[in-house]
Amino acid sequence: MNIRFTILLLVLLPQFLFAWGANGHRIVAQICYDNLSPDARARVSEALGDNYLAQVSNWPDYIKAEKGWDFAKSWHYMTIQPDLTVADVNAKNSAKPKIDDVREGIELMVGILKGDEAARDKMTKLMDDNRVKPLAGSLDATALAFLIHFIGDVHQPMHVGKNRDQGGNKIAVLFFGDRMNLHSVWDSGIVEHEKLSYTEFAAFASIHTRARKAAWEKDGLETWINESVALRESLYNTLYDRTDRETGLPEFSWDYQHDFLPIVEDRLAAAGYRAAALLNEIFG
């Protein structure tokens, strides 16, 4: 599908389909691109052709409007119940041939970009069987778009959610007086409330987190997911610290923005740095 046409489909998609929202994913992609080595940047540009990494970072959400891509919907999240560990869920899902979650989605895209023939054949067959086309006619461009998007997804705490509330989608809250759900506050509410462009937000987040870049880059995928699980639990535990007297709903305002904006910056920056480190390793 043409990237310009997919943007028009955004209005058809309900809010609950997204992680970080459009600008959040662009922020991750921008930080990633800014930290690529010259060789990796050249390889990414070659694969994407006329598209930019920040531009295609939302393509995996836009194509949810196409039924043929339904097979990839479960690749955006990972359900981890409180009585299970990330290792438990990974062991269960890895025993099945089907790609079940965001962790396996990331691993498949890494395999494709590394040139693993089994991974490339698997993705090609999935697209052929479901009659969908790769982004920009390229399997590598498709894998890059999915990879940068999924790394963003896995750093959003509500995307390693509990199935009983659909990752916070069923939890109503008030955000600066507007009724939203917990998931959408973390998708886009906190980011968009700053009223910054994605490039401005990426620049500010990079400045604030640069000292932790090297440490974050050393962590593996399981650590990324475990961080989000721990953060998810802290969000549930503090959910009713502030409530509206009339509705009884959790009330998020300036104090919530003050407390959690630095954490949102951390998650977006960590995702961008880690994506860059991974692509630098893949493309040498």
Region 184-212 average pLDDT = 97
This prediction has a pTM of 0.93
pLDDT above 90: percentage of residues in the chain: 88
**CA 223/CA 183 separation, integer angstroms:** 22
Report residue 91 as tokens: 């062991």
Which range marks the domain in which residue 218 is found? 1-284
Q: What is the structure's pLDDT at 18?
A: 60
Q: Which residue has the higher pLDDT, 37 or 13?
A: 37
Cβ–Cβ < 8 Å for 253, 176: yes
66-75, 78-87, 115-124 — which is least confidently predicted? 78-87
DSSP the chain: --HHHHHHGGGGS-GGG-SSHHHHHHHHHHHHHHT--HHHHHHHHHHHTT--HHHHTTHHHHGGGSGGGGGGGGGG-----TTS-HHHHHHHHHTSSS--SHHHHHHHHHHHHTT-HHHHHHHHHHHHHTT---GGG-HHHHHHHHHHHHHHHHTSGGGG--GGGTTTTT-EEEETTEEEEHHHIIIIIHHHHT---HHHHHHHHHHHHGGGHHHHHT--HHHHHHHHHHHHHHHHHTTTSSB-TTT--BEESHHHHHHHHHHHHHHHHHHHHHHHHHHHHHH-
12-16, 61-65, 162-166 — which is least confidently predicted? 12-16
Is 100's pLDDT higher than 80?
yes
Count structural domains, the chain: 1
**CA 163/CA 140 separation, integer angstroms:** 32
Is 265's pLDDT higher than 80?
yes
Here the CATH number for the domain that contains residue 131 is 1.10.575.10
- pLDDT digit string (tens) for 108-160? 999 999 999 999 999 999 999 999 999 999 999 999 999 999 999 999 999 99
Q: Which residue has the higher pLDDT, 31 or 15?
A: 31
For the chain, what is the mean pLDDT? 93
Is 10's pLDDT higher than 80?
no
Is 7's pLDDT higher than 60?
no
